[in-house]
Amino acid sequence: MSEEQPASTAPATHPGDEFERQPVPEHALKGPTAFWGMYAGEHTAGTEFMIGPLFVAWGVSAFDLLAGLLVGNLLAVLSWRYVTAPIATRYRLTLYYQLERICGRKLVVLYNLANGILFCFLAGAMVTVSATAVGVPFENVRMPTFQDTLPTNAAWCLTVAVLGAAMTFVAIRGYGFVARVGHLAAPWMFLIFVACGLVMLGKLGSVNLVELLTPVQGHQSRIGFWGVVFFAWFCNAAMHIGMSDLSVLRFARKPSYGWASAAGMFLGHYIAWICAALLLVYWVRHKGVDPSQGMAPGPMVWDAVGWAGLICVIIAGWTTANPTIYRAGLAFQSLYPRMSRATGTLIAGALCTLAGLFPAVAMKLLDFVGLYGTTLAPVGAIILVEVYLARRFGLLQDWAAQTGRSFNVAVLLAWAIPLVLFYAAYFGWGVFPSYLTLPVYLLTGALYLGLAKWLNRLESVPVGR
């Protein structure tokens, strides 16, 4: 898993904001290795230590896990290659600028708010994961299990609060340093996952993955093959079909650079997840842990590979939480342009630390990632309709930019109606969120087509991008 960038609703003013409101020029395009490296590093994060064991806790069978991840990750790569990359290299604009041209500035601010809040919860999950590693040397810290939703004890709260405060401080003052450490740590972190897997195979006394990953008798499976497929496909839905990665792939010379996402999917979301799953398999089989209760990642990694593992969990959590806090801060800042970036980041850091105190988000990460993707991905359907169908159906493209309006009601309704139905299905019937990502996405696209034709029909500005 990974995180995305916040929308910008103001002209680029800081040196990191490159070509935010103009197509990327030829001289700024990058070669393929930059993308292979970026995707490989970005998708080996602290949360991978949670996702692998959660599959074991959910009683996913060996075949469903091994084959489901293969198919789901392949579909995710195909989405990056054939949905995101062609649009990114055709227009070379960020998602946020494209959205602003379609929806208007005010609606983009609403998207930013949703983004910022979800970022805080995601960063909170990363703080939780890191805290399970920091807490290992301290006996008083009671580690959360997969069933815990509330803070476990005062020592746990203190650990999370110190870690969250440190991460927020660094996000405000020294973001560049953490980004550099993350860049340097990426290859080593992936190999620590591999090391955990090898050690677990040694401790379990078998290299037969199918036998090892078969759930213990009587452990009811919560999701099957298709659940794994849809989760693997849509855990980064906001980035591929949701078009957030337009911001990255607009620097690609050719759409074929979209294949680089395979590095992230098959190293981070296949090998790393399976290695992390083996950690819990060992604790269930040899230490008698109840699989549905699970075990926090810190103690499992400590037991497997010692200090190097703890360092890895802390760095993996820290280096992914930090940019997330930073970006959430920017998203909040965009709501109130007079607010300083430091204040925005402080608010985001406080929210993220508060979320980190409650293990609910990290321990229900399979659900949360589905909610996150399904909430943000539908805006990608709006872009798809604009690019491929608007002209054919006689819609006014870039409605806000063409009319000078700042709020496109058709987009709001097309986004909100399927989401209301989705949240009703999730909270009412407990449907696994990843099953609904595609229906919500398609419904958003169809609704936008109809609503834009109906609500924006009176406009008489010429069609064309």
Partner 1 sequence: MERVMQGLAFGALALTVVPPGLFLLQRLGESSMKAWLLVAAVLWFVTAPWALKGGAR
Q: Is 396 exposed, middle or buried (0-12, 13-18, 19+ CB in 10 A)?
A: buried
Q: What is the 3-state secondary structure (H, E, C) of 250-301?
A: CCECCHHHHHHHHHHHHHHHHHHHHHHHHHHHHHHHHHCCCCCCCCCHHHHH
Determine the interface stretch with partner 1 among 10-18, 55-63, 137-145, 183-191 (rule: CB under 8 A).
Answer: 183-191
Torsion of CA 247, 409, 411, 400, to 10 degrees: -40
Residue 207 in contact with partner 1, rule: CB under 8 A: yes
Residue 192 in contact with partner 1, rule: CB under 8 A: yes
Residue 209 in contact with partner 1, rule: CB under 8 A: no
Min. distance of Cβ 422 from partner 1 in angstroms? 40
Give Dmax over CA atoms of the chain in angstroms: 72
Residue 248 in contact with partner 1, rule: CB under 8 A: no
Give the C-alpha separation, 214 to 204, whole Å: 13
Residue 284 in contact with partner 1, rule: CB under 8 A: no
Residue 305 in contact with partner 1, rule: CB under 8 A: yes
User: Which of 10, 165, 194, 442 is in the footprint of partner 1 by CB under 8 A?
Assistant: 194
Give yes or no for a contact between 444 and 415, defined as CB atoms under 8 angstroms apart: yes
Min. distance of Cβ 328 from partner 1 in angstroms? 24
Give yes or no for a contact between 236 and 248, defined as CB atoms under 8 angstroms apart: no
First-to-last C-alpha distance (Å) of the chain: 34
Determine the interface stretch with partner 1 among 115-123, 304-312, 332-340, 435-443 (rule: CB under 8 A).
Answer: 304-312
Min. distance of Cβ 30 from partner 1 in angstroms? 11
Q: What is the DSSP string of 151-172?
A: ---HHHHHHHHHHHHHHHHHHH
User: Which of 191, 216, 342, 463 is in the footprint of partner 1 by CB under 8 A?
Assistant: 191
For residue 221 the two structure tokens come to: 């499976």
Residue 180 in contact with partner 1, rule: CB under 8 A: yes
For residue 386 the two structure tokens come to: 């604009």
Residue 199 in contact with partner 1, rule: CB under 8 A: yes
Residue 137 in contact with partner 1, rule: CB under 8 A: no
For residue 30 the two structure tokens come to: 């990058």
In the range 327-346, which residues lie near partner 1 by CB under 8 A?
Answer: none
* Nearer of residues 156 and 251 to partner 1, judged by Cβ: 251
Determine the interface stretch with partner 1 among 194-202, 385-393, 396-404, 455-463 (rule: CB under 8 A).
Answer: 194-202
| Count, residues near partner 1 per rule CB under 8 A | 23
Residues that bind partner 1 (CB under 8 A): 180, 183-185, 187-188, 191-192, 194-196, 198-199, 201-202, 207, 305-309, 311-312
